[in-house]
Chain A
């Protein structure tokens, strides 16, 4: 038989099995008919190369022109108008709609890094030491031109609020790997170098949308309990809590025997899980056992709760404990003005801790099966916004191209993928839409993005939506 046909037959066969109760189809189906669905193992489409993901979301959209997308010729074009042949009348934001589009070359120096010689800007010296682990995708693009839809579509696959987030999809598709911790954790930085009031976040970015809400991200708090309502209230010590839970167990058990509803048993189990979390979560967030060398590696900010550095360290501790999806949000990248100065501060926030996280995961043998993704919701324009000198400028939102980097979890390191034109304005080679990135991330986790479905409002809903999404196979195989 022709090999391709044979392959098709095998796939068809697999699909049949999937839908006859052995895989994802069953998960989706069961969730329709039952109130409590046991986690289903659907890790069956391909052999996964990644077991966990840490997603470093640079909210506000850092400038690819100043960090990753090296365009040496732009200096010659300082303050010249961006040619219409490049602009092509494409949509811009209301902020720069009427203004002339004058080119603002990056003031930062770029150099080749590592054995692979990939280009990176001087803003990220610590990360540069890991250049050979990184795969830069320069041809990222999105439909959204403003932060809210941009972040919403990056995190949920759709600009329209109400869809489940990526982490929720994973939790739904893969179930949980650990018994005592949430499966999907979100940690927004409590502070950053730039101004205080920057682009907002929304609970929907880690929400479960129409998926069962147990798949929603658990947002760790900087002040108070890391997980909401984790601690016993004042006046309730562990002995009192245990005693009350024993009474609860006994009464709930009694009611179960009279009423018959197995949901009561779920309540008992969840109350016990809550009790276990009261020790497992503090153990997780307690960094006192970390070695001085490790702490030093993450930099001085690691001592401050809520810092990006602390969150990177916590991320490693979570990944070690098989939390499946950890998402960090670092805000403050929306540099419409004074970009160089703001950029330096923001890069200081993330450079050393991100490098440390890569190093730490690598040292512990976790990087091979942990996917690390670093991206903003879109890029920034090559043309300046506001005051424009060689030393100072701002940049507006730019959805047509931006750079994300990936590492670990089966990704090829030390490579550039996709090309933009000489203005870092349009993608000219190998475009990667946000949904392509999603499809690729799912693929690395062993999931066919077209099969991770949930029936809602008459559609088989998918993270990647209804338009075609492709797995970027060229960057896989690290």
Chain B
């Protein structure tokens, strides 16, 4: 599958030569994109925007020209006095003032009014919406302190910082850096050995050591596992239907493909095309077919209660929504009942997109739980030797079935025979039947091991598409053809009817303004906690205007130029000085810029649920590095499934190493996902989620303090601690968990904690017994083990451990 096995774009070649270009600054101080359009969109577009049906007073403010446009009706460029818009927004008369009370929208603030005044007076220039204009590589920034860095990202960040009188922070220390990078590229913390190797290498070769570390971490299989996790949120990957009886749905092959795709550095263009149209390649590879399972990730109901036609429509809408969120970064689904109120997506546009996904050759509902959780269409991924083996087993089985049939006939026909013969015949039949049953079990057992993947498949006859009035499945209106929205570049069709392949090519055309921006923004978000556009699910009119538009465009253009090379993009980000800044600053700075939008420091934020769990498993030595395959069920509190199920399902935890697999392999029941994940903000996977929320709650504290598997991990960590001489133990455990060495104060706190806990467990040996239950440990060391277990528990609850510094 690897279309690009190496990404050896040398780093230096990515550097932009530093010229003397003057950066594009607004000389009026007011920016249409930043200051005017968002206000118009929020306060005015609902009635004076793209939606023709809700438009009031034959006025639209999303356009300058035209008979309904702003210039004709509401704004005279250069003159506030002659601009009714101005008069309306400053009026005190509630009957005259805009927005009116019925709109339930706030009036413009004084500051906003002032900006409108400046904008109108300076000519009220309308610019195309930023995200719909193709990204352009910005002129090289002009900075006062170019010595900080020669890298493009940094210069663009620095220019912004200098413009508001700020300076970047110094580089973080090496231990913080390796921990940050390992968490960001592998989703795991570094081991002590990795830390010490890096420190040594760093002393000898400075920056090269950093680049070597980056390359090493990106070459590991854990890179794909980590990157895939974000993607799986976005496409709402899960292990169950998500509706009604919430049956098992087998999408494992898709998850594994995503991991492999990131590890092989499949170009984003192919990554997208395989998912959108993998089934439409001339002779699709297994990977292309598996990837087309993207269209099967939606929620689906089982047959029996819903109306199939309605279920069908819901599925298609869900498919369009996922394409809208993941590839377009737009809320296209808002246009399923009416024209979009903010973005120029008409209802017709929505159903023209819908038409691409309206031809699946699949039932709209599952027939209870299909065998192996696979609902047709699906394909077998068995390699030839596995197929051959299956054929042999099948052949053997049918031979035996034939023999059974013959024996049975012999018995019926031989009813006249004497009793001895009859007994013989009966015995023969019985033994043949047994043999057949064994063969069948063997065949079935083997059959179950064959990997299969649900795929997308077109019907031979095209299903016509209609606009659905008010989005109702049973109210078809005007017929529509497959097409893309008019405000984006035109679709190029290969055949008479546009195909999903045409759609895929349309997305990856370098002129497409959204595809690259949406993806680089999400990748940036992975490393800084917040995207350059915070609303990474929506780059449309109601989304946020980028804080660093030049940087976003620069990344988008170079991403496309690199051949959509994800590893190169990631490398470029983590090589930057911006990324390597320390995340420490004053509390005031944290309060002023809590999400680090100005990038004047490194980003500090809580790790995702999966990283927290994986880190606990890794540092305690329990983590299984086994990759791929069916999802696994680590233990969870009793009764959670029971409380919601309608088919008597009970949660059965897996045994052995399976419960120590990385969290990406954890079984995801949509009706009741694992609480270890959801308590820490993992989404239910009911809907496409481009960015997770991060909260800090008492339930999270309870989870990390008391969850039994996490405590077992602390105990496992404690057994390792006890293998070290007493004087080394504090340093050892601190370094394993935090990647740092403790300072004097930390040593003192832990030392006194250990002493107190030891005393406590010595005086209450039954508590130590309970804590060590099931653990093979001599009585003499139980109290010590108990005390150190609780030290591990403390460390796993430190804010610096559950956060990325």
Contacts and interface: CB of A to CB of B under 8 A. Distances in A.
B695 interface: yes
A19 B106 contact: yes
Interface string A233-254: 1111101110110011011101
B799 A264 contact: yes
Contact of A201 (B644, B708, B764, B794): B644
Contacts of B797: 248, 271
B516 to A, nearest CB: 21
Most chain A C-beta atoms within 10 Å of own C-beta, residue among B301, B590, B760: B590
B245 A200 contact: yes
Contacts of B693: 210, 212-213
A249 B536 CA distance: 35
B699 interface: yes
B591 A262 contact: yes
Given A201-B643, A457-B334, A236 B790 contact: yes
Interface string A117-159: 0000000000000000000000000000111100000000000
Contacts of A379: none
Contact of A218 (B331, B584, B699): B699
A458 B343 contact: yes
Contact of A451 (B97, B104, B242): B104
A162 B687 contact: yes
Given A233-B711, A451-B104, A34 B686 contact: no
A34 B334 CA distance: 27
B10 to A, nearest CB: 36
Interface stretch (A220-228, A340-348, A399-407, A434-442): A220-228
A449 to B, nearest CB: 10
Interface string A256-273: 101111111011101101
Given A228-B699, A229-B637, A235-B772, A35 B645 contact: no
Nearest to B534: A32
Given A213-B695, A221-B637, A251-B798, A228 B590 contact: no
A33 B595 contact: yes
A247 B749 contact: yes
Contacts of B538: 457-458
Interface in A318-354: none
B306 A94 contact: yes
Interface in B729-781: 745-746, 749-750, 753, 756-757, 760, 764, 767-773
A259 B686 contact: no
A458 B334 CA distance: 9
A231 B705 CA distance: 9
Interface stretch (A6-14, A77-85, A411-419): A6-14
A360 to B, nearest CB: 25
Interface in A385-407: 397
Contacts of A12: 94, 97, 101, 107
A97 B637 contact: no
Given A235-B767, A237-B767, A270 B646 contact: no
A197 B584 contact: no
B746 A251 contact: yes
A100 interface: no
A141 to B, nearest CB: 16
Contact of A458 (B541, B678, B789, B800): B541
A289 B628 CA distance: 53
B643 A221 contact: yes
A235 B777 CA distance: 15
Contact of A95 (B305, B535, B639): B305
A214 B698 CA distance: 9
Interface stretch (B200-208, B274-282, B416-424, B667-675): B667-675
B648 interface: yes
B742 to A, nearest CB: 10
Contacts of A266: 696
Interface string B104-117: 10110100000000
Contacts of B786: 235
A76 B794 CA distance: 73
Interface string B672-683: 110100110100
A41 interface: no
Interface in B494-538: 535, 537-538
A219 interface: yes
Contacts of A274: 698-699, 701-702, 705
B684 interface: yes
Most chain B C-beta atoms within 10 Å of own C-beta, residue among A201, A247, A271: A247
B169 to A, nearest CB: 11
Interface in A170-213: 182, 188, 190, 196-204, 207, 210, 212-213
A263 B804 CA distance: 12
Contacts of A273: 698, 701
Contact of B770 (A160, A218, A221, A234): A234
A94 B334 contact: no
Interface string B265-286: 0000000000000000000000
Given A234-B773, A259-B805, A277 B746 contact: no
A190 to B, nearest CB: 7
A95 B706 contact: no
A344 to B, nearest CB: 22
A473 to B, nearest CB: 19
Contact of A228 (B474, B702, B789, B800): B702
Contacts of B638: 223-224
A67 B642 CA distance: 29
Contact of B684 (A161, A218, A227, A240): A161
A279 interface: no
A300 interface: no
A190 B686 CA distance: 25
A367 B798 CA distance: 44
B697 interface: yes
Nearest to B542: A458
Contacts of A293: none
A240 B94 contact: no
Contacts of A197: 645-648
Contacts of B104: 15, 450-451
Interface in A7-31: 8-9, 11-12, 15-16, 18-20, 25
Interface in A456-474: 457-459
A303 interface: no
A210 B687 CA distance: 10
A196 B648 contact: yes
A94 B301 CA distance: 13
Contacts of B701: 267, 270-271, 273-274
A447 to B, nearest CB: 13
A228 B675 contact: yes
B637 A228 contact: yes
B594 interface: yes
B305 A227 contact: no
A235 B770 contact: yes
A72 interface: no
Contacts of A248: 794, 797-798
Given A35-B605, A234-B771, 18 more contacts: A36-B696, A94-B304, A162-B686, A203-B671, A204-B684, A225-B637, A232-B705, A235-B772, A244-B793, A248-B798, A251-B746, A262-B590, A262-B591, A263-B799, A267-B696, A271-B701, A273-B701, A459-B341
16 contacts: A8-B94, A11-B101, A200-B244, A229-B705, A232-B705, A233-B708, A236-B767, A236-B790, A244-B794, A251-B798, A254-B746, A260-B586, A267-B802, A271-B701, A271-B797, A458-B331
Interface of B: 94-95, 97, 101, 104, 106-107, 109, 242-246, 299, 301, 303-308, 331, 334, 341-343, 474, 535, 537-538, 540-543, 583-587, 589-591, 594-595, 604-606, 637-640, 642-648, 670-673, 675, 678-679, 681, 684, 686-687, 693-703, 705-708, 711, 745-746, 749-750, 753, 756-757, 760, 764, 767-773, 786, 789-790, 793-794, 797-800, 802-803, 805
The 6 closest A-B pairs by CB, nearest first: A235-B771, A458-B542, A162-B687, A161-B686, A19-B106, A274-B701
